[in-house]
Structure 1
């Protein structure tokens, strides 16, 4: 199943104002340069976007001038041979904090519903409200946060082993950040758990640091990885379901999905708590690799149904694609 954010730019404000809220889950705003050319860095445009958008704003928060200054320092030191271990210092925590603070300031100024993506630092967590996404009075948090599976399973030490395979934006940072993000999921300071979904090829990832694209393929093994936190006693199964399924449906007003309820679409996963070791031959992504190769998970996916149709039988994709475009009850 699928839905598409609209992408904001410095010159498409009229199109932003014309978004159909029932067809579009949110407006994606890159407040720092990442893959592609969708950086929104004009202050007046940013202010107008936060003021006028008819859907939630979804932000990737990194401050590009900070990153550019850091990169210049590391180029001066290493030339074209920058070690990938420097990535979290180039796309630094300071770049994340500065941009996230700006997004929250704009959202509060205009009363905008804001969802901040890819939280990667412990420092940013204090900026967000702790508590359930849907409050006791039935209202929804106006400003919410998301982190990704890879920030919970990898840390700075893993660059030595995996190199550019875990180069992503924002960068995977320190072990202390990893631990703090897990705790923030558990105490409802972070509302949603998500994935990166950038299937760059091994050939692209084998380039020197500066030329290797950022991003990694994680969708296939995201649930296995998240359930490791249950086996480690860090989260409950119910919390994983909340962060992966309930919260996105609640946050984006997804119609008739995200819960096991009569009349809802039967999007179901059957989990078998049998150890499973990821092999490259198991990878379904067309890029053909996973950063989890060689990892043994405590759980495997035994079956998946999409709109009531069996799509995965535990060993192979089966049947014809049954996915549908999402609708939003707004």
Structure 2
């Protein structure tokens, strides 16, 4: 019953956000294209996983998928209500008022697009790094790391508060650079592609994967990040371009137990039921209550307090 109510709440929140966005002025066709693109990415990577699986799925997969979809609906519903018109509306407002570098200094269109994609990806690395280094943010980000398998649907599992934090981080770059709205759309769609790809549980030829990893984040690169071992999950924060981890010293080539034996999830800090939607949605608040009571689990705080 609790799972049904949680799922219903997430669905209502998502549908309400769609109505709010349309009423606020979002083009319904553009919105439909955006959603269809995301579903297509998920479907294609899911098919790839089935054709060339990295390792066998468990019997829990069906329940995981339902929970991950529920988290997606709650997450996207919350952020859409927070900023109905999205980053594009902020970009348009900046253009109208001459705010931001590209609204002051003329630059070729390709430069604006390239800069938008690169800067937003760098900010994604920064936001991800902070989610691991700041204890309060880590309590929120634990929801994403609670997934004890990793496949294309894992990209859906992100707490609404995490999405809001990432959105605020991206807003800083949109305003400072005066990013064009269309370039932001391209960057967002690219992130859909790459995030779904590197969460995928498909097998890639080793040499091909090693070559790809020189430039972009690959499934192996991100599997290491989802390992339950702290020395693994506190590395490999990049989202599209793997160079950020090399530049900022957070690159990890192999998991502690080897790339083929990775155990996913939170290890000793495991939630009672990491595939229960309600458990995931209230988790950050539960962590805050535990911390205030001085009973927070030690594995969850280890390394977080020292790095804060």
Instruction: Mark yes or no: TM-score above 0.5.
Output: no
With normalisation by structure 1, the TM-score equals 0.25
Q: Which has the higher contact order (CA 8 A, sep 6+)?
A: 2
Structure with higher strand content: 1
